[in-house]
Homo-oligomer: A and B are copies of this chain.
Amino acid sequence: MENVRNMFQLLSRNFGLLNEQCCDNCCGQDISLVQSHILYEINRQHHPSMQEIAGALGMDITTFSRQVKTLVDKGLVKKTPHPADNRINILSLTPEGLGIENNINVTVNAQLNGVLSTMSEFERETVIRSIKLLNDSMQKSASCCIPPK
């Protein structure tokens, strides 16, 4: 049996490094890695509440609350009270926040495409399909990859 963990450990480290470098370099602002994950997830979801984003990222809600606060202070995120329930805050990116998120997105994609460009067309497609497959399986698996609640 393969040692699957080795591969994932390396992959996650490599991607972590890439991601962090991109955060530092591609946008004028200082965006930490967690903050980039928050921007990413707000952009991805549809009118998400605080809990939804914190839950998706597996972050403690109090830590999340503060991080959102600093993103709001930076002018990248907006909190809008839910019309039907004032306890709930709907999160969205400001135009500036969206700009930065896109910026990061473009930069990371460029880096990744650089990496993939060393492969043959066939390999590249296989790799992409594999990762999709893997993500699907992980989402389905109840035993892991689910934030602790």
- Each complex incorporates copies of this chain amounting to 2
* Interface size band for A: 35 or more
Interface string of A118-130 (1 = CB under 8 A from B): 1100010011111
Specify which of B21, B112, B127, B139 is in contact with A14 (CB 8 Å cutoff). B139
Contact of B109 with A13 in the complex, beta carbons under 8 Å: no
Contacts of A146 in B (CB 8 A): 17
In chain A between 37 and 77, which residues have their CB closer than 8 angstroms to a CB of chain B?
A: 37, 40, 57-58
The interface stretch among A1-9, A81-89, A92-100 is: A1-9
Contacts of A10 in B (CB 8 A): 135
Measured CB to CB, the closest approach of chain B to A59, in angstroms, equals 10
